[in-house]
């Protein structure tokens, strides 16, 4: 008996449907701006929140009663039951992609050799599941934060032996991702930072981190992996300070170590807001810096100052996000990974389905709204017009580097320039977002 036996394959039934186990907006083959919804969204189910998390929190034990027993020691048999359930769910949802960390899927291990053995064992089975279901791997990653060895960081650990363990996990998971046909490889540095600056040498840690990332990029080329390498920014949690605090900070790090053409970002909604940025700010910034890779889609809670990782449920909020994704040309190797978890009291199998169905429908609605904004061209037209002075002769001369500070200043004096403020039209532009709903 499968865990999801009572749940049917989820179909598109349209906006009038009241069936909670159906898509009302996500019509995978529907063309939007000449591309199917499936290809625009490239959405993924994440293994960790959905299959590996037992429903515990810092005050309470796990609440989910699943046949693969999340939170308990993982035998090869339990890992296999979990794998079957996961792919049954991906298939029933019609999910084009999934994502996983090594330890989400594999059986328990202790030393480096048993790590390799258990990872290989599950990857062998996963390869079969991919062939059977046609679901693809959006990205793989190694968990460099849960094990006690990583309490003081992975690549940024003061102990090089920990760095070596991290290297072993990452080269193994890069190999697995490559073998499984993954489109990207992600590194989230949850412990790459510090709890107190008093015991920390920031310069040393950044150099270690830079060296680690350089090795990752070299390894990618060595094994012929042609997917993208992505860093996932987050400002803090679990550590007080994480070096990858937001997209702009990651760009500075990449630039310093000469990696800006090799590594992109995986932007997460709730991480953007934790950093004091808006979600759309992060995407527009990544577009501007040419490092936009992929998205972990979720939402925070305005009353809670941590990463609550809830499923997205607000279309107007996501419309600007989708707009900047489209404006940047859409995803290349990236996609929308539901790095989101149901609440602890949502203990039933169908709760996992409601969460993903709702999340996918919200993405589909935001896509339709954003596509209408792109088609109307009013927003982009306004922005273009706003900067049009920079396309005139004087603006072009300044920006191309032909003029010095003195020459530009002289120009103001000679012409007696008295520029007047012009309306930024904020309220009107905000109205356009609402009108697109
Ligand atoms: C945690 C991160 C994590 C990454 C993958 O906050 O979002 O889930 O996406 O390691
Ligand atoms: Ni994430
Ligand atoms: Ni997160």
DSSP letter for each residue of 142-173: ---SSSGGGTT-STT-SSHHHHHHHHHHHHHH
Give me the half-sphere count of Cα atoms (radius 13 Å) on the Cβ side of residue 414. Answer: 6
> CA-to-CA distance for 338 and 134, rounded, in angstroms?
19
Output phi, psi for 138, to 5 deg.
-75, -50
Q: Is 292 exposed, middle or buried (0-12, 13-18, 19+ CB in 10 A)?
A: buried
Pair 192, 243: CB distance under 8 Å? yes
For ligand 1, the distance from its centroid to the CA atom of residue 267, given in whole angstroms, is 10
Q: How confident is the chain (437 residues) per 10-residue block, as mean pLDDT?
A: 93 98 98 98 98 97 98 98 98 98 98 98 98 98 98 98 99 99 98 98 98 99 98 98 98 98 98 98 98 98 93 98 98 98 98 98 98 98 98 98 98 98 98 97
Take residue 46 and report the two structure tokens written for it.
């994440």
For ligand 1, the distance from its centroid to the CA atom of residue 253, given in whole angstroms, is 19
Q: Is the CB of 178 under 6 A from ligand 1?
A: no
Ligand 1, atom 4: closest residue by C-alpha:
188
Residue 1's pLDDT is what?
67
Q: Is the CB of 309 under 6 A from ligand 1?
A: no
Give the position, in ligand 1's atom list, of the atom nearest the Cα of 268: 7
What b/e string do you get for 206-220 counting C-beta neighbours within 10 Å, with b at 16 or more?
Answer: bebbbebbebbbebb
Give me the half-sphere count of Cα atoms (radius 13 Å) on the Cβ side of residue 100. Answer: 27
Residue 310 neighbours by CB under 8 Å, 6+ apart: 270, 298, 299, 300, 301, 340, 341, 343
Assess whether 104 carries a catalytic annotation.
yes
What b/e string do you get for 323-333 counting C-beta neighbours within 10 Å, with b at 16 or more?
Answer: bbbbbbebbeb
Q: Is the CB of 232 under 6 A from ligand 1?
A: yes
Mutation pick for ligand 1 pocket among 189, 234, 296 (CB with most ligand atoms within 8 Å) = 296
Residue 305's pLDDT is what?
87
190 alpha carbon, closest ligand: 1
Residue 32 neighbours by CB under 8 Å, 6+ apart: 40, 367, 368, 371
Q: Is the CB of 339 under 6 A from ligand 1?
A: yes
**Nearest of 330, 307, 262, 303 to residue 42 by alpha carbon:** 330
> CA-to-CA distance for 285 and 132, rounded, in angstroms?
39
Residue 382's pLDDT is what?
98
309 alpha carbon, closest ligand: 3
pTM of the model: 0.98
Take residue 221 and report the two structure tokens written for it.
């080329």
Give the position, in ligand 1's atom list, of the atom nearest the Cα of 237: 6
Q: Name 268's bridge partners.
A: 296
Catalytic residue among 40, 49, 102, 104: 104
Residue 435's pLDDT is what?
96
For ligand 1, the distance from its centroid to the CA atom of residue 179, given in whole angstroms, is 22
């Amino acid at each position: 008996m499968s865990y999801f036996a009572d749940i049917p394959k989820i179909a598109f039934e349209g906006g009038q449907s009241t069936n909670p186990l159906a898509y009302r907006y996500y019509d995978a083959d529907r063309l939007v701006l000449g591309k199917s919804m499936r290809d625009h969204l490239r959405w993924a189910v994440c293994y960790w929140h959905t299959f590996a998390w037992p429903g515990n929190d810092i005050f309470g034990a796990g609440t989910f009663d699943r046949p693969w027993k999340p939170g308990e020691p993982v035998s090869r048999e339990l890992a296999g039951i979990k794998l079957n359930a996961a792919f049954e769910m991906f298939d029933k949802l019609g999910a084009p992609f999934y994502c996983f960390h090594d330890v989400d899927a594999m059986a328990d291990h202790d030393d480096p050799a048993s790590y390799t053995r258990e990872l290989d064992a599950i990857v062998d089975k996963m390869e079969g599941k991919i062939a059977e279901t046609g679901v693809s791997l959006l990205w793989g990653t190694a968990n460099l934060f849960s094990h006690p060895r990583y309490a003081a960081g992975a690549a940024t650990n003061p102990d090089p032996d920990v760095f070596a363990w991290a290297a072993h996990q990452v080269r193994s998971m890069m190999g697995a991702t490559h073998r499984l046909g993954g489109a990207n490889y992600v590194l989230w540095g949850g412990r790459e930072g510090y709890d107190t600056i008093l015991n920390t040498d920031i310069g040393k840690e950044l150099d270690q981190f830079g060296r680690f990332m350089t090795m990752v990029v070299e390894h990618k080329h060595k094994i012929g992996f042609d997917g993208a390498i992505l860093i996932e920014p987050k400002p803090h949690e679990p550590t007080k300070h994480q070096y990858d605090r937001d997209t702009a900070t990651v760009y500075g790090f990449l630039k310093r170590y000469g990696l800006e053409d090799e590594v992109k970002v995986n932007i997460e909604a709730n991480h953007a807001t934790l950093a004091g940025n808006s979600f759309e700010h992060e995407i527009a910034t990544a577009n501007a810096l040419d490092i936009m890779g992929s998205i972990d889609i979720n939402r925070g809670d305005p009353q809670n100052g941590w990463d609550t990782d809830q499923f997205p449920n607000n279309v107007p909020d996501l419309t600007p996000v989708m707009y900047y994704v489209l404006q940047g040309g859409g995803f290349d190797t990236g996609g929308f990974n539901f790095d989101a978890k149901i609440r602890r009291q949502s203990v039933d199998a169908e709760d996992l389905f409601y969460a993903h169905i709702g999340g996918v429908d919200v993405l589909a609605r935001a896509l339709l709204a954003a596509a209408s904004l792109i088609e109307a061209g009013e927003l982009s037209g306004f922005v273009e017009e706003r900067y049009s002075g920079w396309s005139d002769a004087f603006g072009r001369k300044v920006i191309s580097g032909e003029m010095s500070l003195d020459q530009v200043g002289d120009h103001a004096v000679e012409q007696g320039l008295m520029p007047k403020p012009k309306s930024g039209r904020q309220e009107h532009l905000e109205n356009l977002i609402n009108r697109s709903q």
